[in-house]
Amino acid sequence: DTKSKIQKKAVIAGTVIVSFLLIAGLAYFLKRWLTKHRGEMSKMKTMLSDNEELHLYSYESLANATGNFHSGSMLGKGGFGSVYKGKLKDGQEIAVKRLSNSSNQGIEEFMNEILVISKLQHRNLVRLLGCCVEREEKMLVYEYMPNKSLDAYLFDSWKPDLLDWTKRVIIIEGICRGLLYLHRDSRLKIIHRDLKASNILLDEELNPKISDFGLARIFGGNQDQANTKRVVGTYGYMAPEYAMRGKFSEKSDVYSFGVLLLEIVSGKRNTSFYNDENDLSLIGHAWKLWNEHETEKFIDPAIFDHQCINLEVLRYIHVGLLCVQECANDRPSVCTVLSVLNNEMVELPPPKLPAYNARLCFSLESERSQQSVHSSNDISITTVVGR
């Protein structure tokens, strides 16, 4: 009995000691995390207060503007959090992007978006009005776009008729001008890295504005490309050299623009397009029809019109195919794209085989999933983070 009591006491003592060590360990790591987190938040507030081009909003003012972030004010929701429509006391309408605590967009991307877009001003870029960093909240405040995003107009069955060919030309050329500003005309050289239909917002006159600069990268004056082992972007819009080898440049954005152009002309989403006969992607389908001299079949029926317009549409498809060519060096610059779109007298070279000719398996559920892509060329493993 005495031996049994001693064993019980030893077990109890051991359990108490182990429990104490576990609690102490958890408390230590929690304290370290809180210290680091508070330090990051403090550093972020200091950086933001030093930015004279940015307005700092209080949490209270944004809560009041959005009806305390009421569900009826919500414009959209994603992996980053939610976007709300709001109205400030002076009557100005705003869009508030409120990052969730579980957001894939961390402090680094949040700061990146602020520092990049606060220095940019162009009619085809969405305007960042300010931000809020308070009560553990991270929020971005943008000008409000009444017509939301381009994908709603292109891919919703009841809206395509609202986008006639003239409006689509304005949208395509507006996106191109915004991209040209990022690449060549602003005081910074910026690669967007996530150009897609849902990141093109439309104002009251359906003029396009490029948005979401969380993944954008600033290049040095003489820098023309960069490498990363953490590939971030959206399946269906990523250039092959970027998705497989982590290389990105202006030509990566050109590829994304080409996909977007083909979507605008066809009214079909690249990530959900399916061709029963040939198992082709939207890009592969356009390439096949172009080679068979049946490109007019690619045109969205909502804009299929008289011969004059159709010839212009065919030229835009041709330009789109030039933008999605496999080799980055074969793709035109944004400057060249804008030039040939505005000048029908310029003869276009025949496009070469596009990247992702065969259909890839996309799903809406996996657009924000992670997977590993193995590159046999560089014998490297690149983490791909879908959006």
CATH of the domain at 117: 3.30.200.20
Residue 90 is assigned to a structural domain of this protein? yes
* Average pLDDT of the chain to the nearest whole number: 82
CATH of the domain at 306: 1.10.510.10
Over 80: is that where the pLDDT of 195 sits?
yes
pLDDT at 186: 86
Residue 21 is assigned to a structural domain of this protein? no
Alpha carbons within 13 A on the beta-carbon side of 191 = 27
pLDDT at 22: 85
Could you tell me if 92 and 155 lie in one domain? no
pLDDT at 103: 58
Q: What does the longest C-alpha to C-alpha distance in the chain come to?
A: 103
* Of 45, 143, 125, residue with least CA distance to 85: 143
pLDDT at 369: 37
Could you tell me if 245 and 193 lie in one domain? yes
Could you tell me if 76 and 178 lie in one domain? no
Higher pLDDT pick, 71 / 369: 71
Higher pLDDT pick, 289 / 14: 289
User: What confidence category does residue 362 fall into, taking pLDDT thresholds of 50, 70 and 90?
Assistant: very low
Residue 341 is assigned to a structural domain of this protein? yes
Could you tell me if 104 and 239 lie in one domain? no
Could you tell me if 182 and 76 lie in one domain? no
97 is in an annotated binding site: yes
pLDDT at 372: 36
Could you tell me if 203 and 323 lie in one domain? yes
Full domain range(s) for residue 207: 150-386
How big, in percent rounded to 5, are the helix, strand and coil portions of the chain? 45, 20, 35
Say which residues have a Cβ less than 8 Å from residue 167's Cβ, sequence separation at least 6: 206
Q: What is the DSSP string of 209-259?
A: EE---TT-EEEPTT--EEE-SEEEE-TTTS-HHHHHH-EEEHHHHHHHHHH
Could you tell me if 289 and 365 lie in one domain? yes
Name the percent of the chain lying above pLDDT 90.
45
Which of 85, 119, 143 is where one domain is finished?
143
User: What confidence category does residue 278 fall into, taking pLDDT thresholds of 50, 70 and 90?
Assistant: low
The residues annotated as belonging to the active site are 194
Residue 274 is assigned to a structural domain of this protein? yes
Could you tell me if 138 and 170 lie in one domain? no
pLDDT at 384: 46
Could you tell me if 100 and 130 lie in one domain? yes
Could you tell me if 157 and 75 lie in one domain? no
* Of 154, 171, 175, residue with least CA distance to 206: 171
Could you tell me if 99 and 244 lie in one domain? no
User: What confidence category does residue 35 fall into, taking pLDDT thresholds of 50, 70 and 90?
Assistant: low
Which of 100, 120, 143 is where one domain is finished?
143
Could you tell me if 164 and 300 lie in one domain? yes
Over 80: is that where the pLDDT of 91 sits?
yes
pLDDT in tens, 336-361: 999 999 888 888 999 998 987 665 54
Over 60: is that where the pLDDT of 248 sits?
yes
Residue 183 is assigned to a structural domain of this protein? yes
**Within 10 Å of residue 376's Cβ, how many Cβ atoms?**
7
Q: What is the pTM for the complete model shown?
A: 0.79
